[in-house]
Chains A and B, each alone.
Chain A
Amino acid sequence: MNVDCHWIEENLERLAFEDDRLAQGHLAVCAHCREQIESLRAIDPMVKQVFEYDLAIARSPKRRRSPVLIGAFGTAIAAALLLIVAQVRQPASTPGTPAPPAMTSKIPAPEPATSPKIQNPGAVTGRAKPEATVPDRPSSVPREARQADRQAPEFLVTDLAGYSRTLNDYRGYVLIFGVWDSKDPQTAANLERVYKSVSANTKIRVLGISEDREVKPANTTFPSAVNQGSQLLGGKAGDIVVVDANGTIAFRGSLRDESSRLLRSVQSALTALGIQK
């Protein structure tokens, strides 16, 4: 039998060649084969070390669930903190007692928009704005809320030429509009007197509004318009409303009042707005 590197390679599986003198002889002279066999023999002790290491891990007390618990606790604490932060921040951003959605006592709350005309998009022209949402608007600051409540809701009328007018068209002017009642000629007469008293002032616009398309009473000169189903800032037949340049209601009265008293109160409202006769 000829023992050479090839033979050793083929019989490497035996690893131990102590009983084979020929192989021993070759290993004594061939460094390559010796190194190969030694490195192969070193594998088993290393594997034994690995095994013992793994066994120590397997025997060590396991606390594998702790990360789960830590995660659960962490999530719970984070959720609790979030809740607390949300609770703390909520009162800061909103008033303790929410402002009443209705207007101030001076101004009655407008009726909800129930008119089919305004809900029908065809009836609303391009310049018209949707119905006022002021009472429903959420308010974050009480002062703002009050201001918003006083903000006159948009109204929509058409003048006799057929053009629609909204409150925006009167921005920058003080608008005095009265809703005259065809059944009560006194209202139209009073409005006419108001119009006469302020018509000289270019800062003031006057509108006589009728709920229906009715013929304007004789001997009246005030500009006339027809309500298109809007709330008219809460004005009903026989009411007179003064809206300032910013669209805020400044005065609300009745055209059925005695004329001189009405004129006085309108005048005082205009004076309060800084408009002299």
Chain B
Amino acid sequence: MTPVAKRAGEEIDFEAAARECRPFLLQIAVASTRNPSDAEDVVQEALLRGYRGMKGFRGDCPLRIWLSRIVVRVAINHHRSVARRLKRWVFFGDMEFPSDDGTIHEYDPPDPLREFDRERMLDVRKHVKRLPDEFRLPLMMLAVDGMTVPEIAAVLEIPEGTVKSRIFYARKRLNATLRTKKRR
């Protein structure tokens, strides 16, 4: 993926850029939002806001990082919105529904030989979702394809050292939670 950077006097084809960035932005959205079924909506909303706010893009960072910042903000607001939460309660937005061919799309491990403990994974997922946003976001973003600590720092607009310490804190906390549970 080539970063789309704005150069002096260069017009950006936003549609093409958005199409190119979309898979990456979806990953950022999945890492940022607590409800993955909202990720598509979050990306859509972020792209709309990005398109409207293109004038504010100074070109000092790759466009995908700039858009990622919007995605993170939208994702956090999306979750906080009381209306969304109510809607989720009422319409069971958290549920997974079978697709048209009747199969339920679940996470399918890429390597069937790899040991995959689904229950353990869901347990970890539950605890990851419980982490505060500032620790959860860097930890999840590290799992995004090709994301590095400097990039996370750029997206979250915090120093690299802070990203590292937050990731460490998140790991430690998660480890402690899982170990306590194991001991029980």
Bound Cα distance A173, B43 (Å): 91
Mask, B8-27, CB within 8 Å of A = 1, is 00000000000000000011
Query: 17 A–B contact pairs at CB < 8 A?
Result: A12-B172, A39-B179, A43-B171, A44-B171, A49-B107, A49-B109, A50-B128, A51-B140, A51-B144, A54-B31, A54-B39, A55-B26, A58-B26, A58-B36, A58-B37, A61-B99, A64-B97
Interface residues on B, range: 35 or more
Q: Using an 8 Å CB-CB cutoff, how does the interface string of B156-184 with A read, 1 for contact, 0 for none? A: 00000000110010011011001100000
Q: Which residues 42-63 in A have Cβ within 8 Å of B in the complex?
A: 43-44, 46-63
* A126 interface residue per 8 A CB criterion: no
Quote the shortest CB–CB distance from A222 to chain B (angstroms).
79
* In the complex, B124 has a CB within 8 A of chain A: yes
Closest 5 CB pairs of A and B: A60-B105, A53-B107, A51-B143, A58-B39, A54-B36
A64 to B109, CA, bound (A): 25
Query: Least Cβ distance of A34 to chain B in Å?
Result: 14
Q: How far is the CA of A121 from the CA of B9 in the complex (A)?
A: 95
B4 within 8 A of partner (CB)? no
**Residue of chain A at shortest CB distance from B169:** A13
> In the bound complex, do residue A56 and residue B107 qualify as a contact, i.e. CB atoms below 8 Å apart?
yes
Q: A residues 177-235 with Cβ under 8 Å of B?
A: none
How far apart are the CA atoms of A51 and B92 in the complex, in Å? 22
Asked whether B121 is an interface residue with its Cβ less than 8 Å from the other chain, the reply is yes
Chain B interface SS verdict (over half)? helix
| Interface SS of A by simple majority | helix
Closest to B165 in A: A13
A58 to chain B: closest residue by CB: B39
Contact A46 B121 (CB under 8 A): yes
Q: Are B29 and A13 in contact (CB under 8 A)?
A: no
- Determine the distance from Cα of A53 to Cα of B124 in the docked complex, in whole angstroms: 11
- Whether B30 lies near A47 (C-beta < 8 A) is no
**Given A60-B105, A62-B37, are A67 and B92 neighbors across the interface (CB < 8 Å)?**
yes
Measured CB to CB, the closest approach of chain B to A40, in angstroms, equals: 5
Which A residues form the contact surface with B (CB < 8 A)?
A: 12-13, 39-40, 43-44, 46-68
Which chain A residue has the least Cβ–Cβ distance from B172? A40
Smallest Cβ-Cβ distance to B31: which chain A residue: A51
Look across to chain B and name the residue whose beta carbon is closest to the beta carbon of A57. Answer: B36
- Shortest beta-carbon distance from B167 to chain A in Å: 9
State A65–B95 Cα separation when bound (angstroms). 11
Chain A residues with CB under 8 Å of B178's CB are 39
B39 touches A67 (CB 8 A): no
Q: Do A57 and B105 have beta carbons less than 8 Å apart?
A: yes
Q: B97's contact among A12, A13, A47, A62, by CB below 8 Å, is which?
A: A62
The answer to whether B171 and A59 have CB atoms under 8 Å apart is: no
A60 to B139, CA, bound (A): 23
Chain A residues with CB under 8 A of B98: 63
A54 to B95, CA, bound (A): 13
Contact partners of B151 in chain A: CB under 8 A: none
Shortest Cβ distance from B149 into chain A, in angstroms? Answer: 12
A47 touches B143 (CB 8 A): yes
